[in-house]
Amino acid sequence: MIRFRSRWLAAAALCCALTVAPALAAPFNEPVYGYSLDYPDGWRLEKAEGYTLIFRPPAGEAEEAVSVSIQNRKAPEPAAPKPEKGKKDTKAAPPHSASTQAAQDMTARYLGEIRKGTQAVVVQREAPFRWGAEDSVIIGRQAVVDFMLDGIPLRQWAVFLPNPNAPVMHVWILTAPQDSFDRTLPAARQILDTLKPAAPAKGKPTK
C-alpha cells in the first residue's frame, strides 16, 4: 500500500483493471454528505475522516487495491471584484459564475499539491465539467494528471463539483496505474455518473 502524503491523495489507492463494469445496485444517500449516488454491485464502501468515502471493488477481483474516493472540501470564497476606474461600486458575481470560479481555484490548489508532492507531473487535460442537477447544470472542473509516486507511474482523474445548496466542493478522484487506467475507468465512471447534489442535513460536510 502506498502512503500518500498529500491530503488530495490520502483517500486514493492504487487501482487495477476491471474489464467489465458491474451493474449498479447499491445506493448511497446520507443527507449530511450533500449528495447521493449508486455504486457497483459488490463494491465495498468505506467511510474515512472528514466526510470522505472510499469505494473498492470486491475482494479477489484485482491484484491491487482499486479505489474511487469522494472528499468534501470547503469551497474557496470568491475574491472581491476590483472596481473599475471612476466607479465606486461593483456588482457581485452571480452565484453560477462564483461556483465555477471556486471549482477553478480548487483545481489550481490540487495541481499545486500534486506538483509539490510527486514527480514527473504531466497534466493531460484540464477542462470544465458539466454536472447535471434536476433544475440546472452546474459547471465544475476536471483534471487528468500523470505523475510518479514512490517509483510507480500513476494517472489521476479529479473532478471538482460545487454543491449548489452549500459552500461545499465534492472532489471525486480516481487513481490508477497508467497502464490500467482505461480498463478501470468504466466501473469508476458509473459512480460519477450517478452522483447528484443534495441539500446537506445537520452540520456542514466540509473539512
Q: What is the pLDDT of residues 66-95, one digit of tens each?
A: 689 999 999 887 655 555 566 555 554 455
Q: Which residue has the higher pLDDT, 206 or 191?
A: 191
Strands (E), the chain: 24-29, 35-40, 44-48, 52-56, 68-74, 119-132, 137-149, 152-162, 168-177, 196-197
Where do the domains of the chain lie, and which CATH numbers do they carry? 24-77+94-197 (3.40.1000.10)
For residue 25, pLDDT over 60 is answered with: yes
Nearest alpha carbon to residue 105 among 162, 172, 34, 174: 162
What is the pLDDT, as a whole number, of residue 19? Answer: 35
pLDDT at 116: 96
Nearest to 95 by CA among 139, 134, 129, 160: 139
Rounded Cα–Cα distance for residues 170 and 22 (Å): 24
Q: Decide if pLDDT at 176 tops 80.
A: yes
Between 185 and 90, where is the model more confident?
A: 185
What is residue 78's DSSP assignment?
P
Indicate the pLDDT class of residue 26, thresholds 50, 70 and 90: confident
Alpha-carbon gap, residue 180 to 48, rounded angstroms: 25
